[in-house]
Chains A and B, each alone.
Chain A
Amino acid sequence: MTQTGWAMLALLVVVLVWAVAAYNRLVVLRNRIANAFGQIDVQLKRRHDLVPNLVEVARGYLKHEASTLQAVIQARAQAVGAADAARAAPGDAARIGALAQAEGLLGGSLGRLMVLTENYPELKADATMRELSEELTSTENRIGFARQAYNDQALEFNDAARQFPALIVARLFGFGSAPMLRSTQGPAEREVPRVQF
C-alpha cells in the first residue's frame, strides 16, 4: 500500500474509534436519564405509601373534617391508578400527563390537610403526626430533587448530543433531545404542603 493509503487508513481508524466513543457516551447519558426518571417514580410510590398512615393518625383528631380526609384518600387512589397505568406503558405521553395531573391533585389535597392541622394543637403536638409530617416534607423534597436530578441529567445529555462534532453521531443514530420536566404541573401542585410546625 502506498504512503497515502496508510495515512487514509490511519485517519479512518481514528475517526471510527472516536465515533464509537461518542456513541457509547450518548448511550450512557441516555440510560442515566431513564434511571433518573425511574427515581421520580420511586419517590411518588413513597408518597403513596405514606398517605394512609397520615390519614389514619389525623382521623382520630379531625372528626369533623371527614370530607378533606376523603378527598385525600380519593386523590391517592387516583394517583396510584395513574402511576400503575404509566408504568405499564412507559413513554406514553397521555398517561404521563394523567399521572402528573393525579399527583398534582394529591399534592394539593395533602397541602389542604396540612393547613387544616394548624388549627388542631393536639394533632400538631402528636409525636406520630410530627414524624409523619417530617416524612411527608422529606418525600416532597425527594420528589423535587429527583426531578431536579432528571433535569440536570437531561441537560448533560442535550449538551453532549448538540455539541460539534458529537452532533454528527447523534444525528446519524437518531438521538433526539430529552425533554425537561417543569417544576409544577398545575395550580393545585403549586400549593406546597405546609408542614412547618
Chain B
Amino acid sequence: MKFWDRQDAARAQTRRLLLAFALAVGLLLLGVHLALALAWVLMAWVLPVHLPFPAGFLVTNVGVSLMLVLGGWWIETSNLRGGGPRLARRIGAREARAGVSHAEQRLCNVVDELCIAAQMPRPQVMVMPRADAINAFAAGWDAGDAVVAVTQGALDYLSREELQGMVAHELSHLHEGDTRLNMQLIGMVYGLELIYHFGDTVRDRGGLAWWFGSAIMLAGSAGWLAGRLLKAAVSRQREHLADARAVQWTRSRDGLGQVLRKVMTQRAQGERRRRSLMRDYGGLAHPALQHLLLVQAPDERRWMQRLDSHPPLRERVRAIYGHPMPPLPVRPLPAAPEPAAQREAAPAGALPLAARFDPFARRRQAG
C-alpha cells in the first residue's frame, strides 16, 4: 500500500465532499424558497384575485430555513458534546487496567506504543466485556476526553500485531479529528431534518398551509437525503484514511489486514446464526456509534449501500494489500496464566510487574 498517496487522496476527497455538503445546504435553502414560490404561484392561480409575492419573500424563506438548519446543528452538537468516556460507558464499556489480565496489559501496552508512533497524547483505554465480535471504536470531542474502546472478542482472537493494526486505525480517527468532524456532520444532517419536520408541522394546519407545508417537506427531505449521503461518503473516506494511517504507523499491512480478514469470517459465521448476532455486538449497534467503529455493525436493513458509513470489507482489504485476500479463520489465543498480582504465591524476590505500573494493583499488593 502506498500509504502517503492514499492519505492524500482520502483527504482531498474529504475536502471535495465537505464542499459538496456546503453546496447542498445552499441548494436546500434555495429549494425551500423555490418550493414556497411554486406553492404561492399555484395558490394565486387557484384563487380569483391577483396576488403578488409579499415583500421580503426570498429573505424570509432563506432566513427561516437557515435559522432552522443552524439551530438544529447547534442543538445536536451540544447534545453530542458529552465526551467519549460517557458515550463508551453508556454502551457498557469499562476502563482497561494493566493489572486485571494479561490481555488487558497487552492492550494498554499496544495503545502506549502506538501513541509514540503517532506522536499523540494517550487516550483513555476501555474494554467492552460483553461484545464477542472483533471490533473497536474511538470517540471524543478533543484530546481531553478521547477514548479508544476494544471488544472482548478483539482481546480473545487477535494477536499482538493485529491488535496494533486495530488500535492504530482507531487512533487515526482521533488524530485526524474525525470524531469531531462526524459529530459536526451529524448535527448538520439533524438541522436539515428540522426543515422537513417544520414542513410537516405547517402542513398539519390544513387548508392553504397544506400546500406550503408540502413544499417545505419536499425540499427538506431532498436536503436531508443529500446530507445523509454526503455524511456517509465523508465517513467512508475517513475509513480509508485511517486504514492508510494504520499501515503507516505500524509499517505492516498484515496487522490491520488480518483483523479485517478475521472479521470477514466472523461476518460469514454471523450470517448463518443471525439470531445471536445482536448479542455478539453488545452495545455496538448504537446508531450514534456506527461511523466510529472499526467495522460497521451489520444492519438488517441493508437496502442502500450508499448510506453505509464504512466501505465494504473486501474493498478495504484490497486497498491494504493491493489485491484481494481470502478471509482468515478466527481462533481464540492460547490461554495465559493468571497475572501474578492475583495469585497467592508469587515467586520470591520479584515484585509483580503490574504493581510497578498500576497503582490499583499496588494497593492490592499492600493490602
Q: Are A and B associated in one complex?
A: yes
Listed in ascending order, the chain A residues whose CB lies under 8 Å from chain B are: 36, 39, 43, 53, 56-57, 59-60, 125-128, 130-132, 134-135, 137-138, 141-142, 145-146, 148-149, 152-153
Main secondary structure, interface of B, reads helix
Subset of 23 A-B contacts with CB under 8 Å: A36-B119, A53-B350, A53-B356, A57-B350, A59-B349, A126-B347, A127-B336, A127-B340, A127-B343, A127-B346, A128-B346, A128-B352, A130-B102, A130-B336, A131-B102, A131-B352, A132-B353, A137-B109, A138-B109, A138-B113, A142-B113, A148-B117, A149-B119
Contacts of A146 in B (CB 8 A): 116
Q: Tell me the complex Cα distance, A136–B117, Å.
A: 17
Question: CB-CB < 8 A to B350: which residues of A?
Answer: 53, 56-57, 128
The bracket for how many chain B residues form the interface is 20 to 34
- Specify which chain A residues have a CB less than 8 angstroms from the CB of B118 in the assembled complex: 149
B105: interface (CB < 8 Å): yes
- Provide the bound-state CA to CA distance between A128 and B355, in Å: 11
In the bound assembly, the distance between CA atoms of A157 and B324 in angstroms comes to: 36
Tell me whether A131 and B119 are in contact (CB under 8 A).
no
Known: A127-B340, A134-B109. A56 touches B349 (CB 8 A): yes
Q: State how many angstroms separate the Cβ of B327 from the closest Cβ of chain A.
A: 24
Which residues on the A side are within 8 Å of B109 (C-beta)? 134-135, 137-138, 141
Assembled-state Cα–Cα distance A56/B356 (Å): 15
Q: Which of A39, A128, A142 contacts B340 (CB 8 A)?
A: A128
A153's closest neighbor in chain B, by CB? B119
- A56, A142, A145: which has the most chain B beta carbons within 10 Å? A145
Residues of B close to A153: CB separation below 8 A? 119
Task: Tell me if B353 and A128 are in contact (CB < 8 A).
Answer: yes
Chain B hits for A126, CB < 8 A = 337, 347
In the assembled complex, the CB of A128 is this many whole angstroms from the nearest CB of chain B, namely: 4
List chain A residues, Cβ under 8 A from B348.
Answer: 60
User: A58 to chain B: closest CB distance in Å?
Assistant: 10
